[in-house]
Amino acid sequence: MNFEDVYTHEHATRKFLSRKVSEKLLARLIQDAQNSPSLLNSQPWHVYAVMGDARINLCREYEALVRAGKHPQEDFAAMLSLHWDTFPSQNMVNFGASQSYFFRDKLSLFTQANDTMFNAPVLVYLTIPKASPAWSIFDLGIFAQSLMLLAINKGLAVIPAHSLVAYPELVRKYAQIPDNESVGMAIGIGYADCKAEVNADKYIPKRLPLRSVYRLSK
Ligand SMILES: Cc1cc2nc3c(=O)[nH]c(=O)nc-3n(C[C@H](O)[C@H](O)[C@H](O)COP(=O)(O)O)c2cc1C
């Protein structure tokens, strides 16, 4: 794929086929994502992938916690507040409204997709040390974006999802993450189920116009 195709294909996939992702390909993607820039080349990320039986068991326990109504406690929780009194909160409200408008009475597809970990055959967890400066979160985001674009370039689909890190202790157990690392973000990787309604390719959340986000001074 050329770069523009890869970039324009980058949208959240919320239902994956059960088709496996090769371990060799996954390792290659992570190796290539190592080229990402970071503050003073600090490379603060660690990458933990979960697949196979470990993924099945993790998913089972995750679903049980969701069903029991356990409150999410993401390690980055402080970064995600729906009470942000800033323009992103308005964008989130608009996102919710666009989902309701497009999916109407099928809105539960989103919840179902999240609750079943999108059926992603590979869950990739990204961590930084607990004692990290904010720069490391920035670096981690860049690494995540590199990994997602590299995966799409190889015909894979991706979902970055905070719901996947809702219960960090569970993730720690199955992904073997040490206590001194924050479970920052997770990316589900696999092959898209193109027939799944939740993946409707006509549904792409709108972006703000250039004038809302960009100002040039000279
Ligand atoms: C940090 C982050 C967390 C996200 N968490 C979730 C999530 O928990 N569940 C979900 O369905 N989508 C999640 N998404 C996907 C966003 O909803 C999606 O990227 C956004 O609405 C734009 O849509 P698009 O990527 O399909 O163009 C997340 C994306 C990011 C970058």
Q: What is the Å distance from ligand 1's center to 218 Cα?
A: 35
Out of 10, 62, 107, 159, give the residue to mutate to test ligand 1, the one with the largest number of ligand atoms within 8 Å of its CB. 159
Out of 94, 162, 185, give the residue to mutate to test ligand 1, the one with the largest number of ligand atoms within 8 Å of its CB. 162
Q: Which domains occur in the chain, in start order?
A: 3-76+86-203 (3.40.109.10)
In this prediction, residue 106 carries a pLDDT of 87
* Distance between CA atoms of residues 188 and 51, nearest Å: 10
H or E segment to which residue 189 belongs: strand 181-190
Ligand 1 atom closest to the CA of 118, numbered from 1 = 11
Q: Does 168 have pLDDT greater than 70?
A: yes
Q: Which among 16, 17, 29, 11 is positioned nearest to 153, based on CA atoms? A: 29
Question: pLDDT of 2-11, one tens digit each?
Answer: 999 999 989 9
Q: What is the Å distance from ligand 1's center to 47 Cα?
A: 19
Ligand 1 atom closest to the CA of 14, numbered from 1 = 11
* Distance between CA atoms of residues 218 and 211, nearest Å: 16
Q: What is the Å distance from ligand 1's center to 11 Cα?
A: 8
In this prediction, residue 1 carries a pLDDT of 86
183 CB neighbour count, 10 Å cutoff = 24
Q: Is the CB of 11 under 6 A from ligand 1?
A: yes
Which residue CA neighbors atom 9 of ligand 1 most closely?
A: 161
Q: What is the Å distance from ligand 1's center to 206 Cα?
A: 13
Q: What share of the chain is helix, strand, coil (3-state, %, to 5)?
A: 50, 15, 35
What is the DSSP secondary structure assignment for residue 159, as one 8-state letter? E
Q: Does 125 have pLDDT greater than 80?
A: yes
In this prediction, residue 89 carries a pLDDT of 81
139 CB neighbour count, 10 Å cutoff = 23
13 and 192 in contact (C-beta within 8 Å)? yes
For 37-111, strand residue ranges (E) read: 46-50
Distances (CA, A) of 84 to 6, 64, 77, 81: 32, 30, 13, 6
- With tokens 């979960």, the residue in question is 50
Question: pLDDT of 57-112, one tens digit each?
Answer: 999 999 999 999 999 999 987 555 556 667 888 888 889 888 888 888 888 999 99
Distances (CA, A) of 75 to 63, 72, 129, 171: 19, 10, 11, 11
* Distance between CA atoms of residues 166 and 18, nearest Å: 23
Tell me the average pLDDT across 168-194: 97
Angle (nearest 5°) at CA 143 between 138 and 144: 95
* Distance between CA atoms of residues 184 and 203, nearest Å: 27
Q: Does 177 have pLDDT greater than 60?
A: yes
In this prediction, residue 123 carries a pLDDT of 98
In this prediction, residue 84 carries a pLDDT of 66
Which residue CA neighbors atom 28 of ligand 1 most closely?
A: 161
Q: What is the Å distance from ligand 1's center to 162 Cα?
A: 8
